[in-house]
Amino acid sequence: MINEIVKSENLTNAIRSTLRGDSSDYANRLLAKIDFYVSELRDIILSGDRYKNSNMINFTIFEPKRRDIECFAVRDRIIHKAIWSVVNPALEKNFVKTTYACIKKRGGFKASRDLHNYINKNPEYYYLKMDVESYFASVHKPTLFRMLKKHIKCKKTMHLLKVIMFYNNDDRGMPIGRCSPLCFKVR
């Protein structure tokens, strides 16, 4: 799995995806030297213990409700996307068919459309719309990590996931603002 993560094409796609819509000088410099950065990222990922998360930017939004956001540096977001693009398809096969978040050709619109169709076919049923308060903040990371180990046998990939998940040494919480909370929806 680690070999798929560090493929030039995967890292290049992760860089382009992370920087999509960013016209800053930093993004332009990175894209101008994309081959150099791909090589650098590959070395960091393959070095094992060398990869550490950078400091995060923390901020709070209040619409539609209060949410504490933690945002990793660009380098970390690129590495997370490179990992996610390989790990998520391996995990998707274990999801129930009504999982929509972070899956290509699904998402909120398809979820809404499918629910509407289901309601029309089954008018005698009741439906519940709910939001689990502080769901990501309550995730027990050691349990999630054990669940991931059942599906991911590559030790180097698991080491990277451990570094990402346990960035703050807390046992609870997958902060909003990273791609990892949504893609680690394992069963």
Q: What pTM does this model have?
A: 0.79
If one counts the domains in the chain, the total is 1
Residues 65-111: pLDDT tens digits?
Answer: 887 787 888 888 899 999 989 998 888 888 888 888 777 788 889 98
Residue 129's pLDDT is: 78
Cα separation, 94 vs 151, whole angstroms: 9
Residue 17, burial from CB neighbour count under 10 angstroms (0-12, 13-18, 19+) = middle
